[in-house]
Structure 1
Amino acid sequence: MNKVVLKHFQSVDPPLFALFQTIVLDDHSPRHPRRYFVSLCEEIIGQQLSGRVADVLFDRFEKLFPKRRVTPRSVLALSEEKLRSTGMSWSKTRFIRDLAHHVITKSVPLAQLAQLADQDVIDELTKVKGIGPWTAEMFLMFTLGREDVFSYGDLGLKKAIKKLYGFKKDPTVKQMEKIVNKWKPYRTWAARILWKSLEL
């Protein structure tokens, strides 16, 4: 665990710091640009699903392609029915095909996203059908490795904050902001700890 990050949370949020002491996080290195497209496919497939179900569907999806090499052109070469055979919904099938089209036509500059500011990345990705703020925020966190992102629309994070800080009802965005703003510039670290805390 990064000592600077730990010291920050020890100073600004003792309850969260206590969680940091009990949870081990996986590696959080940014992914190579060649993985950006498949990462977005994975995020789309996983929308509104449990992690376990999402992993199963994504595994089936990758197996559709020789050597699991998923590219925009290889996606468009498959029929919607073939993509649907993985168990994903028709809408997600169309979202992934729309993403592939945007990448091929370069209307979404996938290879350049790492050079953009967080909000600019969100603006670019949400041009694609089926990619909303949550999916774009997950991409920022887990693919680009940005350290200061938080998703207020994530139900798991809301549940974890409710549990850790003793809210009787689901906290409002304003209530969460009072807590979350203290975590800058390491909000992604806090989000990852909160997700892990739900497994305890």
Structure 2
Amino acid sequence: MNPIASDTSILDAVAYLSQQDPIIAEVISQRVLCTIRPNKNYYQELVDGIISQQLSVHAARAIENRFRDLFGGTFPEPADILTSDVETLRGIGFSRAKASYVLDLAQHIVDGSVRFDHLDALTNEAVIAELIKVKGIGEWTVHMFLMFCMGRLDVLPVGDLGIRNGIAKLYDLPTVPKPAEVSELALLRGWHPYESVASWYIWQSLDNTPTL
């Protein structure tokens, strides 16, 4: 069973990691309590996640607001999105690629090939396999979804450059670690089953926590 973020489980995670890894313990002592919590509006958060890829928070929020305005001021259902097209979405600030990604996600939901009602029962690996069917959704996006939407505490975003840079800095490594080396370090430092919380504090050490 995957551990899920709550006030109690976050405190448990912080206590556990502080005991397991002195370097993470030092970061924890200097930062606020981890704010990872579940957000069960999976569909909306995934759309917003596509919109915000490689954008500043301010720019992403402006496009998200225009997106809602396009559909009468409320967040559109998947079928509503399919009444639009790439050029219309480009007109409110989407790139051509992101417009096609959002339309592809909406189509997958409408035809039933992507469902959200059963995700809580799936393993992390199965959630990844389900969601990467959609154009524009890769492993990094699903890792962020697992952490910041599903609230899972045992996710290690090995491909995240911030995590890799943060590990290199905190552990005084000569080079930025490869994804496989991130996994190895997490295992050696005993982060499991709270890899998400360790990752959150690594981002915090860089003042660079992502949002979905």
**TM-score, scaled relative to structure 1:** 0.89
Cα offset, 1:26, TM superposition: 5.9
State the alpha-carbon separation in 1 of the partners of residues 76 and 33 from structure 2.
Answer: 28
- Flag the 1:61–1:163 CA change in 2: closer, same or farther, 3 A: farther
Name the stretch that deviates more: 93-102 or 16-25: 16-25
Q: What is residue 90 of structure 1 aligned with on the other side?
A: 96
Cα offset, 1:192, TM superposition: 1.4
Q: Is the 8 A contact 1:25 1:193 kept in 2?
A: no
Stretches of 4+ moved more than 6 A in 1?
Answer: none
Q: What is residue 156 of structure 1 aligned with on the other side?
A: 162
Amino acid at match of 1:190: A
State the alpha-carbon separation in 2 of the partners of residues 77 and 129 from structure 1.
Answer: 19
Specify every segment of 5 or more residues in structure 2 that has no aligned partner in the other structure, as ranges. 1-6
Q: Percent identity between the aligned chains? A: 36
- Flag the 1:6–1:40 CA change in 2: closer, same or farther, 3 A: same
State the alpha-carbon separation in 1 of the partners of residues 153 and 166 from structure 2.
Answer: 19
Name the SS of the counterpart of 2:94 in structure 1.
Answer: coil
Specify every segment of 5 or more residues in structure 1 that has no aligned partner in the other structure, as ranges. none
Q: What is residue 148 of structure 2 aligned with on the other side?
A: 142
Q: What is residue 74 of structure 2 aligned with on the other side?
A: 68
Of residues 15, 39, 51, the one that matches 1:7 is: 15
- Flag the 1:74–1:130 CA change in 2: closer, same or farther, 3 A: same
Aligned residue-pair number = 198
State the alpha-carbon separation in 1 of the partners of residues 62 and 172 from structure 2.
Answer: 34
- 1:178 has 2:150 as partner: no
The structure whose residues are more often helix, as a share, is: 1
Of residues 42, 45, 60, the one that matches 2:48 is: 42
Q: Is the 8 A contact 1:25 1:192 kept in 2?
A: no
**TM-score, scaled relative to structure 2:** 0.85
Tell me the C-alpha RMSD between the 2 structures.
1.9
Of residues 60, 64, 82, the one that matches 1:54 is: 60
- 1:118 has 2:124 as partner: yes
Q: What is residue 198 of structure 2 aligned with on the other side?
A: 190
Cα offset, 1:177, TM superposition: 2.0
